Amino acid sequence: MKTRITELFGIRYPVLLSGMSWISVPEMVAAVSNAGGLGILATGPFDADQTRKAVRRIRELTDKPFGGNASLLFPGAKENAKVLLDEKVPVINFSLGKGDWIVKAAHAYGGKVVATVVNARHALRAQEFGTDAVIATGYEAAAHGESVTSMVLVPSLVDVLKIPVIAAGGFADGRGLVAALALGAEGIAMGTRLMTTKESPLHGNFKKLSIDKDVTDTYYSKRFDGLYCRVMKTEGATKALKKGFDIVGAFVNSKDIASQMNIPYWKMFLGVLASGWKNAYQLAYMANAFKIFKLATEDGDVERGVLPVGQVTGLLKDEPTVAELMERMMKEAEEARLRIDGAVS
């Protein structure tokens, strides 16, 4: 399969692994890249040293192109992005911030940069400062889509951009890939589908739930991490939705984050306060989300943990290997293409 994205990144299939904290680890990234897609490392839970080690581990596991992400709103994200640049990671994906400096530095060594966006304003701004492509995150996605569905968001961006659009939110198989291409996208990014594969480190409790759940079994709210976020409907998610913002928990959980990321707590605390009240409030929300997301992903705690998933969780029926999934998707895409050709001929 050949699209502008496969050409841009030097990959076989136009399929990206979304950068999911505690899921998109080196082994998972390498599995996707080795299967012909583009694995993207999630650096959110890492400090700079951990990010560097993760990048080098990926290079031990694959000689194929791969990427790394940086959610610029998070503490330590800029330092992680600088490591990705220093290590000359082939593709860098940024979100929740302005990444013009990343574009300039990555292009200096021949790297490519992708911005994750939810509207045309942000997409056009990213294009203006040289971003190579955008990931358009629709309402159906786990995080952090907004109110416009992928079916509408993707063509709306394709119509105003010159750079390639990668569709995210609502894609789990070859039919979805062909649908995205028909809308003008050059590829898709998948999180929910890929997190339920053999290589994924997602806890087995939630892999089973991902297969058992229906397309209606999600919550969509700002009450989980302060931004619009979609999560699996579980006992833990129901409790978190009712509880909402917890300022005491934010202080406790932020200390855990500082410790995990090897940042002195006073330094992180002052940095958050200096960023302004609105940003500090958002980061406090995310401190609580950090804990409950990790409880789900690593511990499989259904009573307290919360797992971000897209609506496509209701389409999952099995737990294949990444390679099996990729090959199956290509067969499904060919079948869908032939069906369309027959319908419009």
Q: Are 165 and 185 in contact (CB under 8 A)?
A: yes
288-309: average pLDDT: 91
- Rounded to the nearest 10 degrees, how much is the dihedral formed by the CA atoms of 284, 286, 292, 294? -130
Residue type, 30: A
As separate numbers, helices (DSSP H) first and strands (DSSP E) second, the chain gives: 15, 10
Q: CATH 3.20.20.330: does it fit domain 4-201+318-340?
A: no
Report the pLDDT value the prediction gives residue 282, as an integer from 0 to 100.
54
Residue type, 128: E
Ordered by start, the domain boundaries in the chain are 4-201+318-340, 204-311
122-174, pLDDT tens digit by residue?
999 999 999 999 999 999 999 788 999 999 999 999 999 999 999 999 999 99
Q: How far apart are CA 45 and CA 335, in angstroms?
A: 40
Report the pLDDT value the prediction gives residue 266, as an integer from 0 to 100.
44
Given a cut of 90, whether residue 96 has pLDDT beyond it is no
Total-model pTM: 0.89
CA atoms lying within 13 Å on the CB side of residue 132? 21
Given a cut of 90, whether residue 332 has pLDDT beyond it is yes
Percent of the chain with pLDDT over 90: 77
- Rounded to the nearest 10 degrees, how much is the dihedral formed by the CA atoms of 158, 160, 163, 167? -30
